[in-house]
Structures are given as C-alpha cells and as structure tokens.
A and B are shown apart, each in its own frame.
Chain A
C-alpha cells in the first residue's frame, strides 16, 4: 500500500462548516472547539480538521454512525461540497481552485460515484443510465452503447438493458448505479453506503461481487459504510469518524488491537478479533523461529488449531516469499482468547 508514490487523494486540515457565514466563522474559530460548542454557536461542523491520504489502488473505508460526517467528507473529495478550510488535492491538483470547466473534466475522466439510494434517472433505461456520463462528455452513440453494454455485462445485468429503473429490484438498481460509475473507467471510485439500502442477503452477495470487481479493476476506492463488519470485510484501511473528525485511521488489525480512543475501543468491543488480526501484524521484527513458516495473510482464526497443537513458542512468518520475522505464540493466543 505504501508504495512510496504520491497519494491519489491528499486531504489536509479540511473543514466543512454549515451555517450562515461558515468562512468568517472558521477564521474566528479557536483551536480545539468541540462539535457541541460549534453547534451552540449556530453552526454545524460536517468535517472537522480532517487530514488523510488515499494511496493508489488502496481501499479506504470511512466508517461512522449517521451524522458523523462521512458522507460530507467524501463529497468534499469530489467537490460536490466546497470545503470551508484546508486543502484537498487529487493527483497533486488542488481541486478547490479548479475552475468549473476543469472540475467537470476531472469528474468526466477520473471519478465515479455510487449512491446509497442509487440516484438513477427515472426516465432513462438501464442502458441510457449507464451511458449517461459518456453522453455528457460527448461520446458518439455507438461507442457509448458498446462501452455501456460492456459494464452492464460486468455487473451481470445483461438482458435488462432496456428496462427502466422502477422495473428493477433494489439490488439490480444498485448494479446499474455501479455500472454507471464504472462506465468512464474512473481511477478513483467513491461509494457512499452503496449496500445500506439493500436487505442483508443481497448485501452479502453484492459485497462478494464488489470484491470480485475490485480484484479485476484495482481502483483507488473510498468506501463509506456504517456497518463495521462490512468495513472489516472490505478495507485495506479504515477511518473511523465521529462528529466530523477522524478518530483513527489505520488497518483493521491495528484498529482492533490498538484502538486510539475510547470511542474506537467501544466500537471494536464486540468484534471477533481473531478473524480480523493477521499474522503479519503480530510479527516481532528481528526475532527468529524454526520450522514451517506461516503466511502473513492468515488470520489468527485461521491459525487457531495450530496455535493450540503446535509445540513451538514462536512461528516464522513469510508473505509473498519474503520472511517478515517471527510471531510469538503467546501474542496470537492473547488475541484468540482474550477477546473482551
């Protein structure tokens, strides 16, 4: 993940305040004023001093309860909202200073977004909805039809392309939303609670589908959810938000093992840590161990049987053929047994 190249999205001290005169208010705002205090002043802090980077090919999941500012933050990334303070750079350009023309160009060529309640145009067929972004950038009819059919196939809606959104189920409608966001082959893919409006079985199926797509496409993804299990399933890194601020931004393993704040700890309390924590994060650098090596991508849960039956005190860990060091047995057992 940390490939050393510049981040795709780089967000520095971003603020988004709603109210009568947000810019003026932000100037007078003193350091460390809380969400409640700001609200008492008559303003709502949608995003509060957020700094984070999204790297190429990474899936960052932003997670928080409703009203925590996660949707607002992602809308700042695509400048659907203007930020009140700070800077947001996409591939090195400050998007806040882009003129409208170039912003539209950026969205037409680089960004795709999927919405919670799909945001489909009711008067257009599936095909016309998917081809919509292509039509907007002026592609000719045949080219956009071919491309739209390609993505419709990709999301498994072949044969439904002449249907209207109201004739489709929720899951199918979201497939249309996904296909539309992929039509322009975006580099950056925003998904705003894409599966929240679906019932649990369909949600699970769509997550699998989504992982399959991501395996194939390898996009840079910002994914929003309020469902922690979903976040753990999908994320390379998770940013947990509360009252507009990011409480912690780290890998799922670290969030579970070392919650940064009390809020995060409460969030992770009920999680089956053994399924989240992987061998690679339990490695002690420099330590060595003998015998059969275990894979760094194995979760503690995967290793449970071995941890109990294998007499060794430490295990060598390798990932992709590279030796990472050794994992002490006690550390893994702690995760396995000491869950609460």
Chain B
C-alpha cells in the first residue's frame, strides 16, 4: 500500500545470507555442472535417474485407498444409487431430443420445432443476428444430417450444465459464507483446473457406469470450478451500501441471500454460467474417449479412419454450436431488464415467450405432415463429406503440398524437435528440478520456487519421469513456437484499434471452440504424426498468447505513449522501451495460459499417438487402473501448477511495481 511496501517488494529480505537472484544462480550452476558431468560420463547413474527400487508404489497405495472408499465406505453403492436418478433424467432428455426408447416415449421432437424456438430465443437475446446464428446452427446441423448425434451430445449437455451450475453456485455460496471452507477448496480447485481430463473420465466410468451417465458426471465435475470462483467473486463484490440497505429493510439472513446478494451478483454469476456451458460442451465432446455417443465419438471415429471431409463437417457443427451457445449466454449476461409502461397487457409483456411457443407448436404440427421437417435422414442430407474427402485427399497428394508438409516435417523433426527432446531427456533428474527451482527463484519467490521443486520431485518419485519430460518437451516446444508466431501477429494487430478488435474477436471465438476441434487442422495437414501433435498444441496455445498480448499493449495508458511520442521515440523505440515493458505482466498471463492450454492439449493429442503421460493415461482408460490413472493425472497437474504458480506470482509482482493494480 504505502511507498515503503512497494520498495521492499521486489527483493524479499534475504535468508541464509543469500538473496534470491544469487540463489537462483547457484541452483542454475549446480544444474549445469550435473549435466556436464552426465555428458562426460562422470555422473553416477543414480543421480541421472532415480533407481527403480527407490520409487514408492504410489499407484498401489492409491488403489488400496480407492478400494477402501469404494467398497468399505460404500461409496460405490451410493454412486450407483445416484446413477439411477441421473440415468432417469438422461433418458428423458434422450427420449425428447433423439428418440431414445425410454419414458416418456414422446420424442424425438422434430428438428424444425427446436430450431424455430431457438431462433426466437436468439432474437429475444440479441436481435436478428443472434436469431440467425442460433437458428442457422440448428438448421445446418439438421441439413448435413448430424441432427441425431448432435442431440445425443445436447441431451447430456442440458442435464450437466444446470447440475454444474447448481452445485457450483451452492459451493460458491458456502465458500463465501465460510472463509475456512474457501481456504480449503481453493487449492483443490487449482488442482482440478489443471488435472488432465482423462483423470476425470476414469473415476466417472468406475463409479457411474459407462455411457451417458459417466459422461455427464465427468462433465459436471469438470465445469464446477469456474462457477464456484465466479460466485465467490460476485458475492464479494456486492456494494456494502446495498448490503446495508438490505439489512435496514429488515432482511433475515435467507432473505439477504435471496433478494439482495444473489440478484446483485447477477452479472458474475451469469458469466459463470457462460463458462459452465462452454466447459460442459468441451467436456461432453471429449467423453467420446469413454464411449459416450455423440458428436465427439463420431468425430473420433472419422478422424481415426482419416475421413477428413466428414470430420470437417462435424468440426464445423461443433464450432457453430459452441459459438452460438457462447454468444447467446453472453447476450444474456449483458441483457438488462426493461420496464413496461403501466397497463401493458400480459401477452405483450411475454411476447417473445409466446412467439417462441407458437413457432414450436407450429413446426411440431407441420412436421407431422411434412416428413422433411421432422427428420432428415443420411441419404436426404446435404452433406458434402465424401466430396470434401476427395478434395482434401487430392490436395494433400499434390506434389508441392506433400513437398511442403513433408519437408517441414523432416526439417523440424530432425533439426529441432528430436534434438530438443533428446537434450531434455539427457538432463539428469536433479539437474532439471534445480533448473525449475532456479526459474522460480529468479522470477517469483522463495515459496513458489520451493513448491515447484517439491512438485517436480514428486513427479520424479512417481516413476514416470521420462514420460513426464516428453510431455514437458511437447508443451515447451509448442509454446515457444506459439510465442514466435503469436507475438508478431499480436504486435501488428495492436497497431490500430480496428485490427486489434478484429483479432481479439477472432481469438475470443477461437477460445470457445472445444479443444478437440483443434486436432482437425493438424491431422489434415500433417496426418497422424508427431508433428501434428505439436501443431495442434501450437494453434491452441497461440490463441491466448495473441489475445493477452493485444490486451496488454492496448491497456498501456495513452498519456504514456503520448509522452513517448513527444519524447521523439520512433515506433520501434516506443514499442520496445515503453509499450512492451508495460504490457509484459499481462503478456505473462497470456503466456501462462498458453502453457496451461498446452498441458491440456498435449493429453488430447495422445489420440494421435504420443509417448508421453497422455498416452499412458489413455491406456488406463481401457482398464480399471484407477491408481495409475491418478498418479499420471497428478503428475501433469503438478507440472502445470508449478508454471502457474511461478508465472502468476511474477505477473502480479510486476503489476504492483508498475502501479498497474493487480
């Protein structure tokens, strides 16, 4: 707060008589020495890799614990009980949306009725453009003959999203009410947010049966954390005067919560809803890996058999649904209540609900007479999958295309990726841990460095070190490439307001795409190779980098850039000396997000075929190997958390030093 605090911030009081930069340097030097010793053959083997005999059987221990919880504590009986309830709800939505033969035996609802109702909803939320987007998405889905699989996905989504919302909201309220609870769940949430999705899937399968129920459960769990965080944020931000006004109006505690706190935190809670919907969609698509039928499963199947045209169409559907859901829920956040003049009849006040309902009924009735409005079969559909397939194949077989992709692949593989990977693998375990500690000491603080060191040591103890290093290599390689590509794009885009806004919009849109979709272009260009892995991570990670860099550059106060102009700085000088240093903390947040995204994507890329933790994780899905699954998942989470801790601490320190408020 005061000036004295600020000055003491960058360098904490030295302990052991060594200050932070010096300690970092020492760690770095020892790491180098160890590596050199390794290369000259002087390093004893046990210092290079932890001997097998020293590795504790974490997986077995975890299995014992799971077994105990599952059987002895009766958790399995309990979750099976929950499964039945959930199954019933999913059967209902399944019946209504795609005609699964379960109670209430009403469905499937004609596609045209749903599309019409959604279009009216879109109009109410955001005018003609939103109506077009929403209605058009559903129209497209029906026309290309993907209605049924899309509705399989939606039938889980419409159950999972409200559940995640309700659970997240209640946990958020509890955490806000009881700080002890908040302190207890914050670290759990941090782990949950970095845990690879395979680790959500297996427990879901074991405890909740294969199929839609497990898919729904994994989806719910995956989507809860941001809802909790947004709820806490919103409730804490309610203005104290509004709270006092509520108290002076004689509210009881329950009335305070219902009539004052929650309505006042509406915006944040709705932002949470938006995130819940988007995460649910991303996860529902990924549940294809545990055999959930729907868009994801079909995409997985087509990609596996390299039918790119079909895959491309499904990719478009997924993206359209994602964008439509995102825009609509965001429009809902921004929508403010409007007042009606006194004496407005009720049908006018509920105009849109009535129009939507009548459109629904109209098309429902029409569909009984016009089969095309009821269901569009495979053969009737306008799908161009086969044709696109053909085009793609010929395109990829063109000499110059194969020359470019092949050449690029060979060059990158032989000269960049493989040497880099082998180098990382050659570093002795303790040296790599020391390097991470040095990195933490240099950028963040003693606490972050210790934690990162501890986390990586745990990874070493897990016995999956080599796999972990390969994961780390994919992440680092992709993020470095993403930086090389993303930074120039962002800097160019930030040069004028118009292009900046356009690129930001593109990034925002791209961020709503379920991550699975990013595999598509990679596979299209590079086939099923490990370059495709890096490439898919690369595009996924570039998005946040570009986004935050532009944001950072744009939020540099205009009077500072004007001062630079008046000081006679050239454009380059202004960029290097003024804008980038001030934008750097925000850029670091983007960099951090890129790393988090990369850790997420590298696991999905296991589908293409990798040799890292993700591959092992995917393998565990086939069995009931919960212990191993968890150990692997936690390894990924620990590595991601280490980076998160260090970079975020640095960014917030830096922001405070620059007085940017953070």
Contacts and interface: CB of A to CB of B under 8 A. Distances in A.
B264 A180 contact: no
Nearest to B251: A136
A242 B242 CA distance: 27
Interface residues of A, number: 37
Nearest to B337: A164
A105 B250 contact: yes
Interface in A86-117: 104-105, 107-108, 111-113, 115-117
A106 to B, nearest CB: 8
A263 interface: no
Nearest to A108: B250
Interface stretch (B115-123, B175-183, B252-260, B503-511): B252-260
Interface string A106-147: 011001110111111111110000001101110000000000
B355 interface: no
Contacts of A123: 263-264, 266, 337
Interface in B233-249: 239, 241-242, 244-249
Nearest to B263: A123
Interface string A156-186: 0000011110110000000001001100100
Contact of A113 (B244, B252, B266, B338): B244
Nearest to B341: A162
B155 to A, nearest CB: 32
Nearest to B252: A104
A112 B245 CA distance: 9
Indicate the member of B247, B250, B263, B266 with the most A CB atoms within 10 Å: B250
Contact of A104 (B241, B250, B263, B266): B250
A164 B251 contact: no
Contacts of A112: 248
Contacts of A107: 247-250
Nearest to B241: A119
Contacts of A226: none
A161 B341 CA distance: 9
Contacts of B341: 162
Interface string B318-348: 0000000000000000001111111000000
B244 A115 contact: yes
Contacts of A12: none
A203 interface: no
A164 B242 contact: no
B250 A121 contact: no
A133 B260 contact: no
Contacts of A162: 339-342
B249 A133 contact: yes
B245 A115 contact: yes
A68 interface: no
A111 B248 contact: yes
B239 A117 contact: yes
A308 to B, nearest CB: 50
B130 to A, nearest CB: 22
A75 interface: yes
Contacts of B263: 121-124
A184 B249 CA distance: 9
A119 B239 CA distance: 8
- Chain B contact residues (Cβ within 8 angstroms of A): what range? 20 to 34
Contacts of A181: 248
Given A113-B244, A119-B242, A132 B259 contact: yes
A80 interface: yes
A125 B337 CA distance: 9
Nearest to A115: B241
A151 to B, nearest CB: 14
A37 B138 CA distance: 70
Contacts of A184: 250
Contact of B244 (A119, A121, A132, A167): A119
Nearest to B240: A119
Contacts of B242: 119-121
B262 to A, nearest CB: 10
A285 B191 CA distance: 81
Contacts of B260: 121
A298 to B, nearest CB: 39
Contact of B241 (A108, A111, A117): A117
B336 A125 contact: no
A251 interface: no
A10 interface: no
A122 B261 CA distance: 11
A163 B246 CA distance: 20
Contacts of A135: 259
A162 B339 CA distance: 6
A333 to B, nearest CB: 47
Contacts of B266: 122-123
Contacts of A225: none
Interface centre among B259, B338, B341 (most CB of A within 10 A): B259
Given A136-B259, A164-B339, A116 B250 contact: no
B250 A137 contact: yes
A78 interface: yes
Given A119-B245, A162-B340, A104 B251 contact: yes
Contact of A120 (B245, B337, B339): B245
B339 A167 contact: yes
A190 to B, nearest CB: 8
A181 B246 CA distance: 11
A117 B245 CA distance: 11
A285 B252 CA distance: 54
A113 B245 CA distance: 7
Contacts of A132: 249, 259
Nearest to A131: B249
Nearest to B267: A122
A115 B247 CA distance: 12
Contacts of A137: 250
Contact of B264 (A118, A122, A177): A122
B248 A80 contact: yes
Contacts of A120: 242, 245
A81 to B, nearest CB: 10
Contacts of A115: 241, 244-245
Centre residue among B241, B242, B249, B342 by max chain A CB count within 10 A: B249
B339 A163 contact: yes
Nearest to B247: A80
Contacts of B244: 75, 80, 113, 115, 119
A288 to B, nearest CB: 51
Given A80-B248, A115-B241, A166-B336, 16 more contacts: A75-B244, A105-B250, A107-B248, A116-B241, A119-B239, A121-B259, A121-B260, A122-B263, A122-B266, A123-B337, A132-B259, A133-B249, A136-B255, A162-B341, A164-B339, A167-B339
12 contacts: A104-B251, A104-B252, A121-B242, A121-B260, A122-B266, A133-B249, A136-B252, A161-B342, A164-B336, A164-B339, A181-B248, A190-B248
Interface of B: 239, 241-242, 244-252, 255, 259-260, 263-264, 266, 336-342
Please give me the 10 A-B residue pairs with the lowest Cβ-Cβ distance, nearest first.
Answer: A108-B250, A119-B245, A119-B241, A133-B249, A113-B248, A162-B339, A123-B263, A107-B250, A115-B241, A119-B242
